[in-house]
């Protein structure tokens, strides 16, 4: 495109062409302003009606809000302008005129509900505070990648179209693959284990997972982004260390690199990075603490899964991130290894006070135990032969986890709804856009 100056780079004394969206037109009579917005900010374009060419004034002030325009002129210092500079236009070119009937007000003066916003994401993203979420999302994923690389992990991409699900038929979206039934993968679990078992050893993947769960909650999506880790010669404690490191790296990156975005979200004052080690509670301690809060109608007993109200009560009690370890084997998946006493699994969850962020554990790497696990879970091991047979050719002990990307973003930013952390969410009601 033609030489274009970002609004943030326009300096007094320059002759510049700025291009972007018409944010607002302020007509004060003899003088009027067009506020032009681009990815870097806003700039004021000044029209002195009596001193300027009529056509220029008419074009500049007659254009509808959100139209795309290009303005060339002299950049001058103006202390009264919001950014301290303004452009005195010599030409205004309307590149793409916007329909004056906007489905959503990008200036945010008129509130819109989430559904209207999601239907019109392009307009919604023109708001600073919405754009800030996605800038921060990008920074969080970048920081996670960097931290994994520091842990000597190789980034991998595993297939999303699969013949069998990770844990059998539930929660899977079926598709037709050249006339045969296939599924959208619910987790890279089995594939990442297969690669950790090669001498690549440590891998991570940031990619979509598909879950056909029926419930419509503020923390579930039907297509989510999973941040996965798997490492050979790692146990559950190593995997917890990596999970804790990635979560903290995300907070640190936001604190260090996203000042403007936090400002736009009104979070700059209160934003803090979690301090100290995340406490590690056993499942047994967790249920005792939940019972002691008296928040549940019925006391939890060994073997119960933790209900959402229980997690909430414990989260309030602990007051920060924490792990729950040593789950009863019966409520963790078959590919998680037991330890010591057969009843205990190496599975762990990393919790934010508001919700679960991570599930992980050491994996069962012993072929015969794995086959037993499939059978106990009512799954046919033959269907998973592509996976199980690799455990016969030298499979090291290994451990890993899956961290919900949107849940991480949502908890870091205190978003009420997980849909705020995805550009185009997929949920029970939404398949388009």
Binding positions for Mg ion, rule: CB under 5 A: 359
State the residue for tokens 């019109």.
120
Residue 356 designated active-site = yes
Q: Which class for 54: exposed (0-12), middle (13-18), buried (19 or more C-beta within 10 A)?
A: exposed
Q: Report d(CA 103, CA 115) in Å as an integer.
A: 12
193 binds, among Mg ion, ligand ATP, none (CB under 5 to 8 A by kind): none
Q: Does 358 bind ligand ATP (CB under 6 A)?
A: yes
Tokens of 39: 């990815």
Give the nearer residue to ligand ATP in terms of CB position, either 213 or 317: 213
Residue 67 designated active-site = no
Between the CA of residue 21 and those of 38, 133, 242, 332, what are the distances in Å?
Answer: 6, 20, 43, 52
First and final CA of the chain: distance in angstroms?
29
Q: Can you tell me which of 17, 402, 413, 425 binds ligand ATP, judged by CB under 6 A?
A: 402
Residue 91 designated active-site = no
Residue 137 designated active-site = no
Give which of 401, 86, 380 is closest to 242, Cα–Cα.
Answer: 401
Give the nearer residue to ligand ATP in terms of CB position, either 26 or 428: 428
Q: Report d(CA 134, CA 140) in Å as an integer.
A: 10
Give the nearer residue to ligand ATP in terms of CB position, either 286 or 358: 358
Q: Does 304 bind ligand ATP (CB under 6 A)?
A: no
Burial 136-154 (b: 16+ CB within 10 A, else e): bbebbbebbbebbeebebe
219 labeled part of a ligand binding site: yes
363 labeled part of a ligand binding site: yes
Q: Report d(CA 399, CA 380) in Å as an integer.
A: 24
Q: Report d(CA 161, CA 197) in Å as an integer.
A: 22
361 labeled part of a ligand binding site: no
Please report, as residue ranges, which positions from 83 to 102 form the binding site for ligand ATP (by CB under 6 A): none
Residue 211 designated active-site = yes
Q: Can you tell me which of 126, 220, 332, 398 binds ligand ATP, judged by CB under 6 A?
A: 220
91 labeled part of a ligand binding site: no
Q: Applying CB under 6 A, which residues contact ligand ATP?
A: 211, 213, 220-221, 224, 226, 356-359, 402, 404, 406-407
Which parts are annotated binding residues for Mg(2+)? 356, 359
- Kindly list the catalytic residues: 211, 213, 219-220, 356, 359, 407
Which parts are annotated binding residues? 167, 211-213, 219-221, 356, 359, 363, 404-407
Which parts are annotated binding residues for ATP? 211-213, 219-221, 356, 404-407
């Amino acid at each position: 495109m033609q030489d274009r100056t970002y609004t943030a780079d326009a300096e007094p004394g320059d002759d510049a062409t700025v291009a972007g969206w018409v944010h607002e037109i302020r007509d004060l009579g003899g003088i009027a302003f067009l506020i032009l917005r681009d990815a870097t900010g806003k700039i004021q374009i000044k029209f002195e009606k009596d001193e300027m060419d009529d056509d220029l004034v008419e074009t500049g002030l007659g254009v509808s809000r959100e139209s795309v325009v290009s303005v060339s002129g002299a950049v001058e210092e103006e202390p009264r302008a919001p950014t301290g500079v303004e452009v005195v236009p010599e030409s205004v070119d309307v590149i793409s005129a916007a329909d004056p009937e906007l489905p959503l007000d990008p200036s945010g003066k008129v509130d819109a509900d989430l559904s209207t916003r999601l239907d019109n994401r392009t307009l919604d993203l023109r708001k600073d505070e919405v754009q800030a979420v996605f800038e921060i999302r990008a920074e969080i994923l970048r920081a996670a990648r960097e931290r994994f690389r520091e842990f000597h992990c190789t980034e991998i991409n595993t297939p999303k179209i699969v013949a069998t699900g990770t844990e059998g038929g539930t929660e899977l979206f079926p598709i037709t693959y050249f006339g045969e039934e296939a599924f959208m993968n619910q987790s890279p679990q089995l594939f990442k284990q297969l690669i950790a078992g090669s001498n690549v050893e440590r891998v991570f993947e940031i990619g979509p997972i598909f879950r056909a769960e029926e419930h419509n909650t503020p923390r579930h999506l039907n297509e989510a982004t999973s941040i996965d880790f798997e490492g050979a010669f790692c146990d559950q404690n190593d995997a917890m260390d990596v999970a804790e490191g990635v979560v903290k790296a995300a907070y640190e990156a936001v604190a260090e690199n996203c000042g403007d975005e936090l400002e736009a979200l009104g979070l700059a004052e209160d934003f803090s990075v979690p301090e100290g080690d995340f406490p590690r509670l056993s499942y047994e301690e967790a249920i005792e603490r939940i019972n002691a809060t008296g928040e549940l109608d019925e006391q939890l007993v060994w073997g119960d899964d933790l209900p959402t109200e229980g997690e909430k009560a414990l989260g309030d009690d602990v007051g920060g991130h924490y792990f729950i370890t040593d789950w009863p084997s019966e409520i963790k998946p078959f590919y998680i290894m037991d330890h010591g006493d057969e009843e205990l699994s190496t599975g762990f969850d990393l919790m934010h006070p508001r919700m679960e962020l991570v599930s992980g554990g050491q994996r069962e790497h012993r072929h015969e135990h794995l086959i037993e696990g499939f059978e106990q879970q009512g799954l046919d091991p033959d269907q998973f032969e592509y996976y199980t047979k690799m455990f016969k050719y030298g499979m090291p002990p290994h451990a890993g986890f899956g961290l919900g990307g949107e849940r991480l973003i949502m908890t870091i930013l205190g978003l009420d709804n997980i849909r705020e952390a995805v550009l185009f969410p997929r949920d029970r009601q939404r398949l388009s856009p």
